[in-house]
Structure 1
Amino acid sequence: MKAKHLFIPLFSLLSLASCNDDFLALTPETDRNTTNFYQTAADFNNAVVGTYNALKQSGVYGTSLYWMGEVSTDNTDYGVTTRQAVNVDNFQFVDHTYTSLNDIIFAAWRDHYRAISRANAILTRIEGASIADNLKMQYKGEAQFLRALFYFDLVRLFGDVPLITTEITTPDGASSLSRTPAEDVYKLIISDLQSAEQALPVSYGTADIGRVPQGAAKALLGKVYLTRKDWATAAAKLKEVITSAKYQLLPKYADVFSYATPTNAEILFNVQYKSGNTGQGSGFGPVQASEGARITGGSMRYPTADMETAYEAGDQRKSFSMKSSYIDATGQSVNQRYVSKYVQFGALASDSDIDFPVLRYADVLLMYAEALNEVGFNPEAVTYLNQVRKRAGLADTKATNQASFRLSIEQERRVEFAFENQRWFDLIRTGRYVTVMNAKSLKVQDFNTLYLIPQREIDLNKSLKQNPGY
């Protein structure tokens, strides 16, 4: 199901969850899903593909998660110096002075719920469907994994959020839902992932490469446990991925992101893209037609000066992930940092084949090391961190106790997953966001550890209450 297989013309079917922005965007515009859809295995396959496709919406990996997970941190600058009405929302991620009218935050709320609605429709309908048991199990597992992923984003970004687990078929079906305690949201996430890991296959045939495998469900479940500070359970689950021997670090960091081999031994799950002017290409690293005329990947992708100096001398990841200058169309050198990790030379701007990683094996290794260290510093944790450092061309860590090892993990995750939407979530998880940002004069306040609820949602649903501080 790699991008070459996944993105078939489904857009008429996707209207079943492409809803109005009102009422959490959960209400279908037509009754396509209640009349002649969700009957055959092909119908459910199409619906599952539509749920994968939701990963690329602007409010998910398309745009919002980059702003909320990267630009809001010490990793990335906006890059634009002129403040105008058209970019006021963008500068709020630089200043950390968010308003409830921010369209980027609103898109995150809206599109995650749109995606959840697609998964809910599948899970509501599939139990009574007359399709083969093995396909029913697989499609259900895929929908549960994706729903868990979308809710995991929401609960980390916003805290308590409305929890919807069934298909909504009326215009006002979500108009009075209150915020569900985060603890209960996490219970659903864990339950979905536990079911998914039992239902999903270990691997797929060639035609279905790119669908979520069992290992991805285990890895995401491990990340959930880590976020919940359930260290021992996280370590046990992540070790299952490691001992499965299904995944490994590629010898070269750059190969992980190669458009020639997008599904490889290090990728557990990614957002898939396919060039060809069909609307399915990636715009994370656009380049001009001439390989000598590089552009910076868009004004929202400038690594900070602090990010540039975060890499240790000899770190092979730096030269692949970012550059300090580029050659413009006139042949002149321009001193401007830019993200090069997602550049596909020769591709049209905003239409490349490079996938966006969601879960990869390096993440499993570093999460496992972190979980082990929180249980109690030991040499085993050190070996897993050092595997990642060795691939980057670096010497072993010098950490010798639990506290110093925590900082080593934090540093390693920053450079290993630079520009992969992980920095904000990592610093929030470890309780270090406010400390790290303020130490670098990037002023944030305690309440910035959650984003605000979009005003439009509060206006439409009086049961929603704003997060404290906003």
Structure 2
Amino acid sequence: MKIRYIPLVLLTIFTTACEDSFLEQVPVTERSEVNFYKTAADFNNAVVGVYATLKHPGLYGTGSGALFAMSEIISDNTDLGVTRTAISSPLFEIDDYLITITNSTVNTAWTGHYQGIARTNAILDRLPQVDIPQASKDRIEGEARFMRAMFYFNLVRLFGDVQLVTSEIGSPYGANTLTRSPAAQVNELIVNDLKVAEEKLPTSIANAEAGRASRWAAKTLLGKVYLTLKQYDNAAAKLKEVIDSKAHDLMPSYAAVFSPTTSFAANREVIFAVQYVSGLIGQPTYSGQAGQGSDMWSNWAPFNAGSALLGTGGGGGGGFNRPTADLVKAYEAGDLRKDASLLTSYKNAQGRDVNDAYVVKFRQQGALNADSDVDFPILRYADVLLMYAEALNEQGKTTEALPFLNQIRKRAGLADKTGLSQADMRLALEQERRVELAFENHRWFDLVRTDRYLPVLTSKGLKVQAFHRFFPIPQREIDLNRTLTQNQGY
């Protein structure tokens, strides 16, 4: 999507006026704490640094961050179409359910999320002391709390009980005796942060501020948290607020949601996204990234597909996040989302058909290798409708839930579902979420939330076990902090 995005380049701070476009600013990395956190511009730059964490390899990286492995590859949606090497071995561990306590992908996810939390805590600790307009202060607090909640929500779903850090830690050894807090306590912080955020964030985001969180992003995430906690009445009420606001809607075309030509202003479906921008290759950023573009198209293309598929300069094709045959078969006949999400063959340089499934949802033909503009949606309106239907159904309101499921099916060119029982509706929603949200890092979390990961995955021959509900605490963290305990099974 051509959302002229925040260049999240990790450079030394430059001075900027508060009214400068949010999209033209960079996060703070090297400015002294003595003279920083003094003005609204300082805090604005600090907020940019928080959003920058979404580009950390432990989250979304250049698209192929740790979360795609820990939510898609671990499920029945995708696997790896690449040769096992030292570099890809951590991903194969996840795909094979042989995850070690030294898995680098898991370790990177842990450290990346806590880096984001540290940035939000620095803002929230220092914000009360600064003399800036209250409106600016409210928005900054709302953004920091929204992002902290998102980071912790990922952590608690991935690891269960985690270390709960809510203020700055001055000493490099300050967390070395911090124990894991119960997930219930972490979830309490998440809910409280989002309740504050939904009150303080704006109802709309200007084009020049694309990439920042809105009130509807906070409400959507809070609805998802409630759904995960099985607080179905709270989830339904919160998601209905998003629906009734009419601030967002389904795009008429499914493919248009992910098109690089769909502008931020035109895309009413995406509520919050990781944004990428091409043309910045060579500028320093997180380790392992060449610029600010996305590698999803080139890295998820078939292994060694080459220029015949990706074009000159488009890379060779990484073979990562390959759609499984099971997912390919999951689409109903006539589902318009299938060809907008994946293809099962391509023509090689000799013009011959090569049968190999690959993701096209985030395709940008002509983009240079790892330098696509296509953004990655974290929250979008289709998810809101499906979550709302689930929350209603779990309260026994299946008839009320059906129209919201059918809104999604209608856009996909499919017939309405009718006359479903509550149990039938559960299965229909599971199926619809799988194909609607494929490759958007939902599948594993959905199966775990509904306690379906064991029956669904084992029925397909996958070697998942009950303890895989959570990933291992990285051994590196336990080595540094002997109060940390390991998750069962590892």
> In the alignment, which residue of structure 2 is the partner of 1:326?
346
Deviation at 1:262, TM superposition (A): 4.7
| Percent identity over paired residues | 54
> In the alignment, which residue of structure 1 is the partner of 2:405?
385
Please state if 1:157 is matched with 2:169: no
Distance change (3 Å), C-alpha of 1:174 and 1:325: same
> In the alignment, which residue of structure 2 is the partner of 1:265?
268
- The 3-state SS of whatever aligns with 1:7 is coil
CA distance in 1, matches of 2:74, 2:316: 19
- The 3-state SS of whatever aligns with 1:127 is helix
- The 3-state SS of whatever aligns with 1:337 is strand
- The 3-state SS of whatever aligns with 2:271 is strand
- What amino acid does structure 1 have at the position aligned with 2:34? T
> In the alignment, which residue of structure 1 is the partner of 2:17?
none
CA distance in 1, matches of 2:40, 2:475: 40
Deviation at 1:461, TM superposition (A): 0.4
- Counterpart contact for 2:315–2:368, Cα < 8 Å: no
Distance change (3 Å), C-alpha of 1:327 and 1:176: same
User: What is the CA deviation profile of residues 191-246 of structure 1, one whole-angstrom value per residue up to 9, with x for unaligned ones?
Assistant: 00000000000002231123111001000000000000000010000000000011
CA distance in 1, matches of 2:29, 2:244: 47
CA distance in 2, matches of 1:271, 1:30: 20
User: What is the CA deviation profile of residues 125-175 of structure 1, one whole-angstrom value per residue up to 9, with x for unaligned ones?
Assistant: 111112111111111101110100000000000000000011112111111
> In the alignment, which residue of structure 1 is the partner of 2:464?
444
Equivalent position to 2:278, from 268, 275, 281: 275
> In the alignment, which residue of structure 2 is the partner of 1:362?
382
Query: Following superposition of structure 1 onto structure 2, how do residues 45-60 of structure 1 map, counting pairs within 5 Å?
Result: 45-60=44-59
User: What is the CA deviation profile of residues 289-330 of structure 1, one whole-angstrom value per residue up to 9, with x for unaligned ones?
Assistant: 666758785222210000100000000000010000112334
Please state if 1:169 is matched with 2:181: no
Task: Give TM-score, length-normalised by structure 2.
Answer: 0.89
RMSD (Å) for aligned C-alpha atoms? 2.0
- The 3-state SS of whatever aligns with 2:181 is coil
Task: Answer with 331-340 or 85-94: which moved more.
Answer: 85-94
- Counterpart contact for 2:155–2:162, Cα < 8 Å: yes
Distance change (3 Å), C-alpha of 1:313 and 1:296: farther
> In the alignment, which residue of structure 1 is the partner of 2:486?
466
- Counterpart contact for 1:377–1:401, Cα < 8 Å: no
Please state if 1:400 is matched with 2:420: yes
Runs of 4+ in 1 over 4 A off after TM superposition: 287-297
Higher helix residue share: 1
CA distance in 1, matches of 2:95, 2:318: 16
User: What is the CA deviation profile of residues 83-111 of structure 1, one whole-angstrom value per residue up to 9, with x for unaligned ones?
Assistant: 44443212111210110010000000010
> In the alignment, which residue of structure 2 is the partner of 1:222?
223
- The 3-state SS of whatever aligns with 1:270 is strand
CA distance in 2, matches of 1:204, 1:317: 28
Distance change (3 Å), C-alpha of 1:83 and 1:6: closer
Deviation at 1:332, TM superposition (A): 2.9
Query: Following superposition of structure 1 onto structure 2, how do residues 63-142 of structure 1 map, counting pairs within 5 Å?
Result: 63-80=65-82, 82-142=83-143
User: What is the CA deviation profile of residues 326-368 of structure 1, one whole-angstrom value per residue up to 9, with x for unaligned ones?
Assistant: 1233433211100011110111010110000000000000000
> In the alignment, which residue of structure 2 is the partner of 1:188?
189
- The 3-state SS of whatever aligns with 1:323 is strand
> Unaligned 5+ residue runs, structure 2?
15-27, 284-290
- Counterpart contact for 2:8–2:52, Cα < 8 Å: no
- The 3-state SS of whatever aligns with 2:163 is coil
- Counterpart contact for 2:4–2:210, Cα < 8 Å: no
Query: Following superposition of structure 1 onto structure 2, how do residues 206-355 of structure 1 map, counting pairs within 5 Å?
Result: 206-263=207-264, 264-276=267-279, 277=281, 278=283, 279-286=291-298, 293=311, 298-355=318-375
CA distance in 2, matches of 1:463, 1:257: 44
> In the alignment, which residue of structure 2 is the partner of 1:23?
none
CA distance in 2, matches of 1:295, 1:437: 33
> In the alignment, which residue of structure 2 is the partner of 1:18?
none
Query: Following superposition of structure 1 onto structure 2, how do residues 36-51 of structure 1 map, counting pairs within 5 Å?
Result: 36-51=35-50
Deviation at 1:469, TM superposition (A): 1.1
> In the alignment, which residue of structure 2 is the partner of 1:7?
7
> Unaligned 5+ residue runs, structure 1?
15-28
- Counterpart contact for 2:5–2:276, Cα < 8 Å: no
User: What is the CA deviation profile of residues 17-38 of structure 1, one whole-angstrom value per residue up to 9, with x for unaligned ones?
Assistant: xxxxxxxxxxxx9984521111
Distance change (3 Å), C-alpha of 1:291 and 1:324: closer
> In the alignment, which residue of structure 1 is the partner of 2:145?
144
CA distance in 2, matches of 1:392, 1:68: 27
- The 3-state SS of whatever aligns with 1:34 is coil
CA distance in 2, matches of 1:329, 1:38: 55
Equivalent position to 2:453, from 433, 436, 440: 433
Distance change (3 Å), C-alpha of 1:334 and 1:291: closer
- What amino acid does structure 1 have at the position aligned with 2:269? E
Task: Give TM-score, length-normalised by structure 1.
Answer: 0.93
CA distance in 2, matches of 1:374, 1:296: 46
Deviation at 1:4, TM superposition (A): 2.3
- Counterpart contact for 2:315–2:369, Cα < 8 Å: no
- Counterpart contact for 1:253–1:317, Cα < 8 Å: yes
> In the alignment, which residue of structure 1 is the partner of 2:33?
34
CA distance in 1, matches of 2:478, 2:419: 47
- What amino acid does structure 2 have at the position aligned with 1:285? W
